[in-house]
Every structure is written in C-alpha cells, then in structure tokens.
Amino acid sequence: MAKRKEPKRPKAAPLLDAWFEGAGTTQEETITDTLEKNYLPYAMSVIISRALPEIDGFKPSHRKLLYTMYKMGLLTGPRTKSANVVGQTMRLNPHGDQAIYETMVRLTRANECLLHPYVDSKGNFGKHFSRDMSFAASRYTEVKLAPICETLFSEIDKETVDFIPNYDNTMKEPALLPATFPSILVNANMGIAVSMASNICPFNLGELCETVIGLMKDPAYDLLKTLKGPDFPSGGYLLFDEEELRKVYSTGRGSLRVRAKWSFDKAAGCIEVTEIPYTTTVEQIKEKIDELIKAGKLREVNTCRDETDLNGLRMAIEVKRNTDADKLMQKLYRLTPLQDNFACNFNILIGNTPRVMGVREILEEWLAFREECVRRRLFFDLSKMRDRLHLLEGLKLILLDIDKAIAIIRATAEEALVVKNLMDGFGIDEIQAEYVAEIRLRHLNREYILKKIADVDDLRAQIDDIEATLADPKRIQKLIASELRATAKKYGQPRKTMFLHPDDEPEVPIEDDTPDYPVHLFLSKEGYFKKITPQSLRMSGEQKVKEGDCIVLAQEATNKTELLFFTDKAQVYKVRASAFDDCKASLLGDYIPVKLGFDEEERVTGMIATTDYSGQVLFVYENGKAAKLPLSAYATKTNRKRLTGAYSDKCPLAKLLFLTEDVPLLVRSSGNRAILTDTSQIPEKATRSTQGVNVMTLKKDQVVVTAEIVRGERLAQVETYRVKTLPAAGKLAKGLEEADQLPLV
C-alpha cells in the first residue's frame, strides 16, 4: 500500500511563523489583570454610553433615535412607519432593531410612560401601566416627532453642542441636545448600569421652569415654594412628606409614597380605581388582591377585575355588602401595590462622570450647560452677522460708482482676474469682491443695492446688542428665563399627581385581621417546626421526625402568638405563628433556617412564644456565667424580622430558658459536677450583650454542658446539690441523669 505523502505547508510570513511557534502555549495572568483588561472597559461602556442619562435628559439611545427622526424631517412632516425610523437609526445605534423600537415605544404618547412624550404616535404601543399589553410590530405603527421636540432641535444647527462621529465614523451625531428647558427632571428616567443605577422621577414642566427662574435670581431659593413635588404621568396621590422631599432635593436620594386614585360606586358595590402608582402595573395589583382573597385576608372583597379599555385604566374591586370602603382601601394600601414607593436615585453623567445629585445641584448644572449653549448660539449668530455686515460694507462701496464696477468687469479679459480687478478698483477684500462679482447683471442697479444695504445700521445695532449680552451674564440669564417662560406657556400642562397631606387622610384604625385560634407548637432539635390545631392533633398518631431528631419543645399557643427563634449566631428571628401553615403530626413541618432565611450554617438554639413580651430569658454560657434579661428587650415598634446581638457572643451558649417566675435551676458541667440554685439569685440585666454573673466555678478545660428548671419530684432528687452562694464549684453528680421531659424553652 502506497504511503500517503503529506502536503507541504506553504512558507508563511514572519508574523505567521511567530504565531505557529507560539501555538499551544499558555501565559499565566492574574484574575485582577483579566478583569481590568476585559470587564472594566465593558463596565465603563455601560455606565457612560448606555445606562445613565446626561444633563440634557437623554441616554445615548434616546438621543440617537430623536436626532435620526429630526434629520428625516419628522418634526414638521407627516408620520412615517416606525420600521423606517428604526432602520435609519441603526446608522447611529448598532444595538439592533428590537432594542431601538422598544426605546421608541417608551417615548411615545400612546405608551403613557412620559409626562411630556417626545414622539407623536399612531397605532398600538402598549401601556406603561400594563405588563401584559404588548405593543404592535414596527411595520404596523406610525410616528413623528411631538411638537415639544422643537425645543430640542431649534438651535442644534447653530453649533450650540459638539458633534461626534458615529460608531463607524461615516456621519456625525450630537453629543448632547440643546434643550431649552431642564428635560432631565421633566420626564422619568431609569437605568441600571454596572455597580450603579439611576431612577429619576418627573416634575411638572411649569413648576420646574418657575423654580429655575427663582434659582437664577436667588441661589438660596427655597425649591419647595414652586416645586411642590414630583408629577407622575400615571397620576395618583403623592403623600406629602416635606422632610423626605427636602432630602431628595438636597441629596438626590429618598423614597416617595404614591397612592392610587379611587371612587366608590355604592349602588354597584364596587370600588373603581382609575389611577395607580407609576411604579406598578394593573396585573401586579390584581394578582396580589387575588392572592389575598385566596389566603382569606380580604374577606370584604368578592373579586377584582381589570376593565381597562379605550377610555383608559379602570380596575373594579367588587366588595361585599355593608363594607366600609375607606377602611378597606386603607387595608389595600398596606397589603397591595395600590400604595407604592418611588425610590429616587438621581445619578446623572456630568462630563462622563456619574454623580448622584440633588434637585438643586442638577438645576445648577443644567443652568451652566444652558448658559454655554446660549453663548455658543450667540457667537454663531454674531459670526454670521459680522460676515453679512462685511459683505454689505463692500456692496456699499460699489454704490458710490456702479458704472465703474461694470466697466471693470467688462474690461477684464479673463474671468479669473475679475475679483482681483474689483479689489484693486474699490479697495475691498477678496470675500467682498467675490460677493459683488456674483451679483446678477439685473441687480447691478441703485435700487437693488440700496435695499441690500438698508439694514446695515440695524445689523450693527444687533451686533452691539449680542456683544453686550455676551459680556453680561445677567443678560444671558434673562434670555434663558424668557425662553423658560415661553416653553412653560406653550407646553405646560396641569398637574396630574395631586397631594395628600397627613391631615387630609381620614383616621382609620388599623385592625389586625389575622384569624386567631388555639394551636400546639412543636420544635425539634434539628430545627423543624410544626403548628398543629387541637382537632388535628387529636386525630393524629405519633410525631414524625427525621432519623436522629427529636421534639425538644411542645407548647400551647394561639395563631397570633409572636415567636422568637434564637440562633447560635447570637441573633433572634421574630415571626408570628400565623406565618406558618397548619400542619399534621405525620409531616416533618417547616425547616426554620430555610423558612426564615438564616445565615449560612446558622442553627436554632431555642424558641420563645409570647403575646405580650412579659417574662424573662435566661442565658447560661459554657464559661459558667449566666445572664437574665427581660423579654421586653426584644420588643420593637417596627415590624423587624431579625435582631442582631440578641445575647453575648463572647462565649458559646450552653442553654436558653424562658422564665415566667423565679424557679430552681440545676446547672451541670463537663466535670460531672452540679449545682442547684434559684434564678432569683441571678440579677436581671438591661443590655443584651452582657454575660451576666458567674454562677459555676469551673476547672481548666471544663465547660457548662446544660441547665434545667426543676420542679416536683425532680427537685427533691437534686436538693443535695443546692448551694447558698454564687459562684460555686458544686458537687460530683453521682447517678444523676438528665430530666426525661421537654425543657421549657
């Protein structure tokens, strides 16, 4: 069989040879270097070029889309198919047609996402208040720029902003848009970048323009005088909180509460919701109400329907007869997104640097940006006027002797020398001579030239006025103020979000509607918990536990009982018994570390059930110390689920006991010694972090292993171990076994 001949590898270039020599080799690189080279540029790109808005109020995707529509003539022309705009925008935005179209949807009037939409739309663009109402494909919808976009592009051709190359360097696009009003605070804007985010709430255009004018007159102007609060396109009621608003205005962070607007149709027995918080959707509200109805927490409600139609949003909550609508709505505000919070985070790019700023600082930055735009516009106009004045002054010289100008042109043999001969004949420069040479023969008459140069004096006056304006910052501010007033007058609209002051809210007592009934509570050594009704317990057999596990607590309580689960990480988790489902003895129950979200490797050391936080907690530590604390030390006014520093973590806990009165206490050590004392000998402490007092004296390498409350016959058995004073070393425990009973923990 003939041997197959391997083909020769063609002779490679030197660079390719070097690659072949290095093929198959690896080079070690630290993870920090890899992140710096690969992830950091991506993170910076997301922050600077995608997620965060700039001082003109737009992200790059918004700006590219609107500028494309402007260049397509959609500011004054008829609507065009959305697909046409999407296709044209891809020359500036390389992120794909669907991403561009979704950006457009949010800017449209039909979507109702913006207080002042930038895109006039026709067709189905979905609704901001609905999660499931999808928008139609771009081939079916039509768009054009809304009239308010005139304020964005009226000066863009006057060199008011810088232009930068697009992604493939084939055309230019504006770095910012020269908006004549602070659009950054007029429309809501949300963005999620890498390690940071932005969430800007909208304000009323008229109020904002008036506030900017006030700020120009007085840098210490109180913003709340005119800027009463956010104005959401979804309407609703803003719960007025002056302290929180001032915090937002000064720091750019804060949380504002917004409520739905509703009315009660008594004849139909139905609550009609027509406006909802900006941060939620009708589907989220309906799902939550349905969930509460199934859980039996909304017994006053029969059903909830979404009746949104072409007339706008409408939710119908059908209630039972004789239901107090005010009380029910207060309950719904607490339990559903009918009242929601808007978390303000005014993170804006200033000079490619993200900054969290308050409203005052944002307006100051916008004023600086706007002043720069006005200056650049004035410089542009000034340059054009000076050029025109220069041409007219040359034309004025021609007026002195029109015949001479005609004679020079006629006597010039070569066309290239016409401009030179005019320059020599009248003492004008090349630009002026070129302008004269281009005048038509029919216009070389006295009447035409006089009409042309009639505006010279007015032109000079305008130039002097612009130069005076550029030299006086106050005149520039007056110009900005007049533009703001004109914008507010033309595009301002009444406030949509009304205010609800705490004094205006009816006082409706908060009723606890948690069903209350007797239950039996069980806790196993491994941390499994069961809540069983007496009827179910009577019908059940033995308690089911995992192999190697056992029940360490059995206690009667009610469904409203507060449960405190203490852990080996010196933390306590608070929860109501009603948070657990009723269980059967034949089931394992709920695993507490998972149910309550414990930290990793955190375990239950004990549980206390209470309704009034009376009684005391006794902590016995392995080093022989014991601390007695009032249970009221764990009562909180707010609904906190976890308290850190529940007890001292300087030494491991040997036992946790709940006391309702002073009782005999038996403490045993690893050295097989025991002492019997009374809990009255251990003083009560006020701070949770204390280790208390020494109870048992231990030898080296010995620890307390357990402590128990003793009563009845058990007390008589251990009376020999009683000590009169503390601390004590105790006696050897001969034949003493642990109590065969459930400890009262």
Q: Which residues are catalytic?
A: 140
Residues 595-603: contacts with CB under 8 Å, at least 24 apart: 595/529, 596/565, 596/641, 598/567, 598/573, 599/569, 599/571, 602/567, 602/568, 602/569, 602/571, 603/527, 603/567, 603/568
Which of 526, 606, 514, 599 is CA-nearest to residue 561?
Answer: 514
What is the spatial distance between Cα 681 and Cα 690, in angstroms, rounded to a whole number? 17
Residues 500-507: contacts with CB under 8 Å, at least 24 apart: 500/237, 500/238, 500/239, 500/240, 500/259, 501/240, 502/239, 502/240, 506/326
CB 294 within 8 A of CB 308: no
CB 367 within 8 A of CB 55: no
Tokens coding 327:
């009380």
Strand partners, 341: 257
CB 670 within 8 A of CB 703: yes
What is the spatial distance between Cα 93 and Cα 86, in angstroms, rounded to a whole number? 9
Give φ, ψ of 599 to 5 degrees. -70, 170
What is the spatial distance between Cα 23 and Cα 707, in angstroms, rounded to a whole number? 70
Tokens 């689960």 identify what position? 565
What is the spatial distance between Cα 609 and Cα 594, in angstroms, rounded to a whole number? 20
Tokens 């940071």 identify what position? 196
Tokens coding 40:
């950091």
Specify burial of residue 217 (Cβ count, 10 A radius: 0-12, 13-18, 19+).
exposed
E strand or H helix that includes residue 349: strand 347-350
Tokens coding 253:
């962070």
Residue partners of 383: CB distance under 8 A and separation at least 6: none
What is the spatial distance between Cα 605 and Cα 653, in angstroms, rounded to a whole number? 8
